[in-house]
Structure 1
Amino acid sequence: MNATKFWAVFTIGVAAGAAVALLYAPQTGEKTRRQVRRKLEDASDYVRDTADTIGDRASKAYKAGRGAVEDAVETAGNVYDAAAKRVQSIV
């Protein structure tokens, strides 16, 4: 099992354990439901923020990669043009 799968399974296990602990805690059902709802909202906000961050980073990486490719294409074009001129001057 690779590290990513291990941590995914570990996280799911921790979440399941926490959910069971909340359900069997000695408090009223209403309080437990409020607490679970609050935690789910927090988790939802965290996932949304993380997705936004990943999207921003992916967009920046795409733009940087695209710029690098455009520069490489331009440089290759310049080299080609210079080589073509040299060949024309020889012929």
Structure 2
Amino acid sequence: MKSMLEALYCGEFRPEEKIVPKDREFRRIRREISEARGMWKGKLSTDNFNQLEALLDLHRQTESMQATSSFVNGFQLGALMMMEVYVAKEELLFGLR
């Protein structure tokens, strides 16, 4: 079995794909979005609807970029906290400063 780091490097581990809110409100909103898209598909010409879809795709791309940045930032903060904990351990155990 590969380590998490190997899987991450090889593109086999994609944390953002596993994150799905369990909140019922999330599911309700997703359903409303789907229904609204269906309504707009019926109202707009094919060309106009394709333009709307392209706009929504751009929006999804920015959301993905923001989620990636948040994940990286959170991971970095967590690692920095672990470094601080490790330094404190050395100070506590060996009286180092």
Amino acid at match of 2:60: A
Fraction of identical pairs, as percent: 3
TM-score, normalization by structure 2? 0.62
Mark the structure with the bigger radius of gyration: 1
TM-score, normalization by structure 1? 0.65
- Between the two proteins, the alignment pairs up a number of residues equal to 76
**Higher-helix-fraction structure:** 1
| Cα deviation digits, residues 25-70 of structure 1 (max 9, x gap) | 2x21101111111111111211212221231122122212221232
Between 1 and 2, higher relative CO (CA 8 Å, sep ≥ 6) is seen in 2
Does 1:46 find its partner at 2:81? no
Runs of 4+ in 1 over 6 A off after TM superposition: none
Structure 1 residues without counterparts, runs of 5 or longer: 80-91
Q: CA RMSD in A?
A: 2.3
Paired residue for 1:61? 78
> How many angstroms apart in 1 are the aligned matches of 2:29 and 2:90?
45
